[in-house]
Amino acid sequence: MTKEATYRVLLRPTEVELRAPAGTQLRDLLFEQGVEFPCGGQGRCRGCRVRVLAGAVEVNAAQRERLSEEELKNGWRLACQCRLTDDVVIELRQWDAAILVDESAFAFEPRLGLGVAVDLGTTTLVAQLLDLTTGHVMAVRTALNAQARYGADVMSRVGYAADKDHLLALAQLIRRQIGSLIDQLIFASKARRSDIRDVVLVGNTVMHHLFCGLDVEPLSHYPFEPQEGGLKTFGANDLGWNLEPGATIRFLPCLGGFVGSDVLAGVLATRLAESQEMGALVDLGTNGEIVVGNSARLLCASTAAGPAFEGARISMGMRAATGAISQVTVEDHHLDFRVLGNAAPQGLCGSGLVDAVAAGLDLEVIQPSGRFANGRKEWTLVPPVVLTQSDIRELQLAKGAIAAGFHILLDRLGASAGDVRKLYLAGAFGNYISHSSAQRIGLINLPVDKVNAAGNTALLGAKLALFSLDGEEGSYNGLLHKIEHVPLKADAKFQDVFVEELAFPEPSHVPS
Of the pair 68, 194, the CB lying nearest ligand FES is at 68
* b/e burial code for range 43-61 (CB count within 10 A of at least 16 → b): bebbbbbbebeebebeeee
The smaller minimum CB distance to ligand FES, of residues 27 and 175, is found at 27
Nearest distance, CB of residue 434 and ligand FES, angstroms: 13
Q: Quick check: helix, strand or coil at residue 338?
A: strand
Compute the least distance from the CB of residue 388 to ligand FES, in Å. 32
| Cβ neighbours of residue 3 closer than 8 Å, sequence gap 6 or more | none
Q: Which is nearer to ligand FES, 25 or 261 (CB)?
A: 25
CB of 36 to ligand FES, least distance (A): 8
Listing DSSP states for 382-435 in one string gives ETTEEEEHHHHHHHHHHHHHHHHHHHHHHHHTT--GGGEEEEEEEHHHHHHS-H
Closer residue to ligand FES in complex, CB, 39/72:
39
CB of 93 to ligand FES, least distance (A): 14
CA–CA separation, 142 and 91 (whole Å): 17
HSE, side-chain direction, 13 A CA sphere, residue 286: 15
Q: How far is the CB of 178 from ligand FES (least distance, A)?
A: 28
d(CA 37, CA 34): 10
Nearer to ligand FES, 252 or 433 (CB): 433
Count the alpha carbons within 13 Å of 500 in the hemisphere toward its beta carbon. Answer: 10
Look at residue 484 and give its three-state secondary structure.
strand
Burial of 213 (0-12, 13-18, 19+ CB in 10 A): middle
User: Which chain residues interact with ligand FES by CB under 6 A?
Assistant: 37-39, 41-48, 78, 80
451, 435 Cβ separation under 8 angstroms? yes
Q: How far is the CB of 33 from ligand FES (least distance, A)?
A: 14
Nearer to ligand FES, 49 or 157 (CB): 49
CB closer to ligand FES out of 45 and 188: 45
Which of 181, 189, 178 has the alpha carbon at shortest distance from 238? 178
Q: How far is the CB of 426 from ligand FES (least distance, A)?
A: 16
**Checking DSSP bridges between strand 278-283 and strand 385-388, what pairing results, if any?**
unpaired
CB of 435 to ligand FES, least distance (A): 13
The residue type found at 91 is E
Nearest residue (CB) to ligand FES, 201 versus 453? 453
Minimum CB distance to ligand FES, residue 294 (Å) = 27
How long a stretch of residues is the chain? 512
Q: Is 470 exposed, middle or buried (0-12, 13-18, 19+ CB in 10 A)?
A: exposed
Give 46 or 450: the residue with its C-beta nearer to ligand FES.
46
- The smaller minimum CB distance to ligand FES, of residues 143 and 448, is found at 448
Nearest distance, CB of residue 80 and ligand FES, angstroms: 3
E strand spans, 217-311? 232-235, 248-251, 278-283, 287-293, 298-304
Q: Which residues pair with 452 in a beta bridge?
A: 424
For residue 315, the tally of other CB atoms under 10 A from its CB is 15
